[in-house]
Amino acid sequence: MFSCNALEVIEGIESRVESSKDEENIPYMDAYWMEGNLSNSTNLNASWSSLTTAGATTIDITVYDQANCVGSVEDSMTGQPVTLTSHTFNPSSEGYYSFSLELLDDLGISMSSFCSDQIEWDVTNPLNPSNIGWGTPTTPGSDSNQSSQTIAWDASGSGDTASYSIHLFSDAICASPFGTDTLVDVPTTNLPVNGLPPGDYTFTITTTDSAGNSNVSVCSSVMSLDFTPPAQIAGLSWTEGASTSSAGITGNWTASADASSYLIEFYKNTNSTPCTGTLLGTTEEVVHPDNFVAYPDTLISGEYYSFVVTAKDAAGNESIASGCSPVILKN
């Protein structure tokens, strides 16, 4: 038979068990991950408010590799003082984690338990955007005489991309930063830049995902801004001299160092005064070593012909038109 003291102990234990059943649903205030619900931090920090359930003397903390406190146990601490309010955990692989708290009395009887919200641990860098490059409102290119340009790219292939940061450089190798970085949100895939002075420009794009992981693109192609027109063309002449009976005629001029092409205006004169007659047409001649253009063989005997040349550089700047060439008489 049990003594009175033994019966009292048993009744006390039964009373605690019944009491713990009533307290099983007691919520732990502010049980959360300090990093929020998404993180790329090396450590994850479980946190909760100080627990004051009557009779509780220790707390067990268990971390799981899935949400809702299921799956494998990744980390645990048992028999901790109830004054403890945080626990640092080092995740082993990407995925979701949750943690449970269990309060126990001095006999090890569970008094209440709680499961935290989930956190996702993501340490994979997002993919870089593709097809990064320069473009003007009308045509893409690498040389321009416009101070306003557009940086453009195709979106990153990562579904969790959160933003792009554009880094502009005033050189051809992405080594000399120019201005301040510009942050743009998804789904933006272009950025106008205005008021650029002459020079070479490149850029990189840093892609950042929702967890804070980032990736820097390769250096872009070069955009060369040139606002200076080529020098005025001089030295206009005819290969055939002042008159010819040839079927065609050839014009010459002194090359311009900055020219990438030449615009030639061809005139049929009403008399021997250059460039006073009818404009027969305008031809764009790509630069070649001899700097000449051959005119068609539809020349009329007894008529005078002349031409004017304007130099054009790769950026689109045009020189002042040359003076008029000497006339040539078709015999």
Q: 305 vs 249, 274, 325, CA distance in Å?
A: 9, 7, 9
Say which CATH architecture domain 16-121 belongs to. Answer: Sandwich (2.60)
| Percentage of the chain lying above the pLDDT 70 cut | 88
Spatial contact of 111 and 117, defined as CB atoms under 8 Å apart: no
pLDDT band at 140 (very low <50, low <70, confident <90, very high): low
Predicted TM-score of the model (pTM): 0.77
Q: Average pLDDT for residues 57-78, to the nearest whole number?
A: 95
Look at residue 16 in the predicted model and tell me its pLDDT.
45
With a cut of 50, say whether residue 181 has pLDDT above it.
yes
Say which CATH architecture domain 130-225 belongs to. Answer: Sandwich (2.60)
Paired tokens of 115: 């499961």
Torsion of CA 320, 149, 198, 233, to 10 degrees: -20
With a cut of 60, say whether residue 274 has pLDDT above it.
yes
Every domain of the chain and the residues it spans: 16-121, 130-225, 237-330
With a cut of 90, say whether residue 286 has pLDDT above it.
no
With a cut of 60, say whether residue 21 has pLDDT above it.
no
Q: Is the peptide bond before 274 cis (omega within 30 degrees of 0)?
A: no
Look at residue 12 in the predicted model and tell me its pLDDT.
47
Paired tokens of 319: 């020189």
What does the DSSP assignment read for 41-105?
Answer: -SSEEEE-PPP--TT--EEEEEEESSGGG-S-EEEEEEEEETT--EEEE---SSEEEEEEEEEE-
312-330 tens-digit pLDDT: 999 999 999 999 999 999 9
Look at residue 53 in the predicted model and tell me its pLDDT.
66
| Bridge partner list, 10 | none
197-237 tens-digit pLDDT: 999 999 999 999 999 999 999 999 999 999 999 999 999 99
Q: Per CATH, is 237-330 categorized as 2.60.40.10?
A: yes
